[in-house]
Structure 1
Amino acid sequence: MDQVNIGFLGAGGIARAHAYALKALAFYYPETPAIGLVSVASARPESREAFATRFGFSHAESPEALTSRTDIDTVFIMGPNHTHFGHFRAALAMKGIRRIYLEKPVCSSQEEEVAMVGLAASARGRVDIQVGFQYLQTPAVREALAFWKSGILGKPVHFDLKYYHGDYLRKSYREKRVTRLTPAPDGGAMADLGSHGLSLLIAFLGNGLQMVHALQAGTFPDVPAGSDLFSSVALTDPMTGAAGHLSASRITAGSGDLVLLEIFAEKGALRFSSQNPDYFEYFLEEQEHWVRQPVGSHYRGITAFPSGHVPAGWLRSMVHAHYLFLGGSDPAAFVPTLTHGLEVQRLVRETAFHLTRYREQILQIKKNHP
């Protein structure tokens, strides 16, 4: 296999996770390309230089310098949300570029969404693009998706998805993450966490989900009103008539890192919880009982390192996402293309619109009932 020469646009926490996943690939998969860590770029020289030294990158430089290089064929875009579109456009223009891994959100405005469609069209067949919805590669989610796609449960009737954190309840935590407290759709709980939930719903139910309503809750003096701390959206699937809710929270005490997906269908139901990541559950009306389906960290037919029955972890799904991104074969995988990322972003953007309308309604109610 030819060596893959990689550049990182971003040197924060998620970049560290990607560096880990790249270094771990060879342990999980018998055939992986050699990895060349060419350069890392970020706005602050001290952060990129420390990152390069710690994780073995040959160069540390500005984003402009990195995207001017000719010895990089693969770019990971992981900077602040508002930089994603500009970095994506610059990466596409790089000489010799073959692959771009774009962390969510793919962009921050409707104008950027429209522009990205054109950019993606110009890159089709020349550059492989994958979006960072790693939850799709969690073993139990993969198995649950395959089970759902089998049609055993019939048409969906209603659904519910929650993605909750609680860290932003602490002022000290918020103070360290001021750049993430930007108004939706650039920032907020729906862009940060809910986008993963939307990605999961789209994988299970398909494109075309329509947003009906949104609401939000939670206020702090240091958080702009437009940066949702908790938000909930009502969605419908025009193809099947199914409807449901998705909620995202940065301020749910005791939630840890909770992802809970439930789909109720004509012939049964399915659910997955990140609190029990080693299995998913399903219910069949004709059997009248819930079945727990163990999965562990088995990627059937591809790899089971270190063992198929051991617990799965969040970083494990990222490693598999990298395996797919670098050309690995897994026909059963749901690979989040840029089209998928833009479909998620459309719903994130529409959430911002509905949340604005909701806040206006609340203000009007307060005026009418002083």
Structure 2
Amino acid sequence: MDTIGVGLIGTGYMGKCHALAWNGVRAVFGDGPKVMLRHLAEANPDLAAQRAAEFGFEHATADWRDLLADPEVAVISITTPNAFHAEMAIAALEAGKHVWCEKPMAVVLEDAERMAAVAAASGRVAVLGYNYIQNPVVRHIEGLVKDGIIGRVNHVRLEMDEDFMADPEAPFYWKSERSSGYGALDDFGVHPLSLLQTLLGPVEAVMAQLAKPHEQRPVTGGGQRPVETWDIASVLLRLHGGVSGVMALNRSAWGRKGRIALQIFGDKGTIAYDQERMNEFQLFVAEGRPSEQGFRTVLAGPQHAPYDRFIPAPGHGLGFNDLKLIECHEVLRAIGGEAARVIDFGHGLLIERAVHAMARSHDEGRWVEL
């Protein structure tokens, strides 16, 4: 491919993130097709025109289906709220477009299964937006685990905490509606699951407990509305190979802004990582004299590819949008028929099944096998 035409549905936080990635991917990596920003869709026509001008798209529309009919659009980024993913992704694939869809796949498991089936039958690339696995530090951690630097892994702990739902006086909005999903589980719990699946393999069994720190939220104009989702989840895990695990999720954790704390324990050492300090990790290896043993901090640098594509010096650091740009490059590699580090709809379905198994475990009060 010399060029590739891009469509974008949704222009909020993640829509802008995708636009930045499409705009910068060729400049950073210096390969792949020239990206042509063809068509942008946003429900409000005035906002669509404004965002198209800001992001650099040639055409704007208030009807996302216009992108399906546009022969110049080869790949569509879907960055709309969760409830719209299934309809849009399936329609795009059936129209012959490649798809890059933000997580989670869908609110209902049956919709996620349909998405995976349509993707498999379409012959098109269908990728989910799990950009944390693209971090050069996480890539390096994967190599350390595979190389046995910490020995045989026997336990993993993951915490994901943010505080955007912490204030009990914050007004009710769509993330508290059941139609958006279960809450912490599929709103952002899928991100640590993507790390687990990438680093250690799929989840095989779960035991979960969900909680609502705030039972009601104020409604604009007065009154209260019951919260329909769960902002807290505590999960016991059994992973591939019998590895035990614990995952704790909290959307109401005051002071936490973007924390994904990962600890991987092996019989020869430990690896620790926190997304709020995404340009470093800690490594402990049980070797040498006990009097000098201890965790050492490793800073990201050009030796941790593809950090070197952004910055030639260590310790300067990448950001969230850079991870999405790396993911964009992997999407283009997949479209070009190359091996790519992505979570496609087939592998994403494993994450969706794990989430729904956790919800079922909470409802039934028991372990659920996947």
**TM-score, structure 1 normalization:** 0.87
Confirm or deny: 8 A CA contact 2:216 2:227 kept in the other structure: no
CA–CA distance in structure 1, aligned partners of residues 119 and 27 of structure 2 = 33
1:192 equivalent to 2:184? Answer no
In structure 2, the partner of 1:355 is: 362
Q: How does 1:229-244 map to 2 (within 5 A)?
A: 229-237=231-239, 239-244=240-245
1:252 equivalent to 2:253? Answer yes
CA–CA distance in structure 2, aligned partners of residues 120 and 322 of structure 1 = 18
CA–CA distance in structure 1, aligned partners of residues 73 and 199 of structure 2 = 35
Confirm or deny: 8 A CA contact 1:138 1:317 kept in the other structure: yes
Shift of 1:333: 6.4
CA–CA distance in structure 2, aligned partners of residues 224 and 18 of structure 1 = 34
Question: What amino acid is aligned across from residue 159 of structure 1 in structure 2?
Answer: V
In structure 1, the partner of 2:176 is: 181
Shift of 1:184: 7.5
CA–CA distance in structure 1, aligned partners of residues 114 and 307 of structure 2 = 37
Confirm or deny: 8 A CA contact 2:207 2:358 kept in the other structure: no
CA–CA distance in structure 2, aligned partners of residues 340 and 153 of structure 1 = 26
In structure 1, the partner of 2:145 is: 148
Q: How does 1:275-286 map to 2 (within 5 A)?
A: 275-286=276-287
Among candidates 152, 161, 165, match of residue 162 of structure 2: 165
In structure 2, the partner of 1:128 is: 125
SS at match of 1:263: strand
User: Are the structure 2 counterparts of residues 209 and 296 from structure 1 closer, same or farther at C-alpha, using a change threshold of 3 Å?
Assistant: farther
CA–CA distance in structure 2, aligned partners of residues 332 and 185 of structure 1 = 33
Shift of 1:6: 0.6
CA–CA distance in structure 2, aligned partners of residues 19 and 130 of structure 1 = 16
Confirm or deny: 8 A CA contact 2:137 2:304 kept in the other structure: no
Among candidates 280, 297, 300, match of residue 292 of structure 1: 297
Shift of 1:167: 1.7
User: Are the structure 2 counterparts of residues 334 and 271 from structure 1 closer, same or farther at C-alpha, using a change threshold of 3 Å?
Assistant: farther
SS at match of 1:316: helix
Runs of 4+ in 1 over 4 A off after TM superposition: 171-175, 328-333
Shift of 1:87: 0.5
Confirm or deny: 8 A CA contact 1:77 1:100 kept in the other structure: yes
Question: What amino acid is aligned across from residue 47 of structure 1 in structure 2?
Answer: L
Shift of 1:271: 1.0
Shift of 1:316: 1.0
User: Are the structure 2 counterparts of residues 134 and 199 from structure 1 closer, same or farther at C-alpha, using a change threshold of 3 Å?
Assistant: same
Q: How does 1:305-344 map to 2 (within 5 A)?
A: 305-309=310-314, 310-327=316-333, 334-344=341-351
In structure 1, the partner of 2:49 is: 49
Q: Cα deviation per residue 1:229-262 (whole Å; 9 max; x = unaligned)? A: 111111112x422212112211101112111000
Confirm or deny: 8 A CA contact 1:131 1:336 kept in the other structure: yes
Q: Which moved more, 1:79-88 or 1:329-338?
A: 329-338
Confirm or deny: 8 A CA contact 1:40 1:48 kept in the other structure: yes
Q: Which moved more, 1:326-335 or 1:112-121?
A: 326-335
User: Are the structure 2 counterparts of residues 301 and 16 from structure 1 closer, same or farther at C-alpha, using a change threshold of 3 Å?
Assistant: closer
In structure 2, the partner of 1:58 is: 58
CA–CA distance in structure 2, aligned partners of residues 302 and 15 of structure 1 = 23
Shift of 1:86: 0.5
Question: What amino acid is aligned across from residue 50 of structure 1 in structure 2?
Answer: Q
SS at match of 2:242: coil
Question: What amino acid is aligned across from residue 329 of structure 2 in structure 1?
Answer: Y
Shift of 1:144: 0.9
Shift of 1:212: 2.1
CA–CA distance in structure 1, aligned partners of residues 309 and 262 of structure 2 = 25
Shift of 1:313: 0.9
Shift of 1:159: 1.3
Question: What amino acid is aligned across from residue 347 of structure 2 in structure 1?
Answer: H
User: Are the structure 2 counterparts of residues 21 and 93 from structure 1 closer, same or farther at C-alpha, using a change threshold of 3 Å?
Assistant: same
Confirm or deny: 8 A CA contact 2:264 2:272 kept in the other structure: yes
Confirm or deny: 8 A CA contact 1:211 1:351 kept in the other structure: yes
In structure 2, the partner of 1:363 is: none
SS at match of 1:209: strand
Shift of 1:225: 4.6
1:21 equivalent to 2:21? Answer yes
**TM-score, structure 2 normalization:** 0.87
Q: Which moved more, 1:48-57 or 1:4-13?
A: 48-57
Shift of 1:340: 2.1
Q: Percent identity?
A: 25
Question: What amino acid is aligned across from residue 312 of structure 1 in structure 2?
Answer: L
Q: Which moved more, 1:57-66 or 1:317-326?
A: 57-66
Confirm or deny: 8 A CA contact 2:236 2:247 kept in the other structure: yes
Question: What amino acid is aligned across from residue 191 of structure 1 in structure 2?
Answer: D
Counting matched residue pairs gives: 351
In structure 2, the partner of 1:36 is: 36
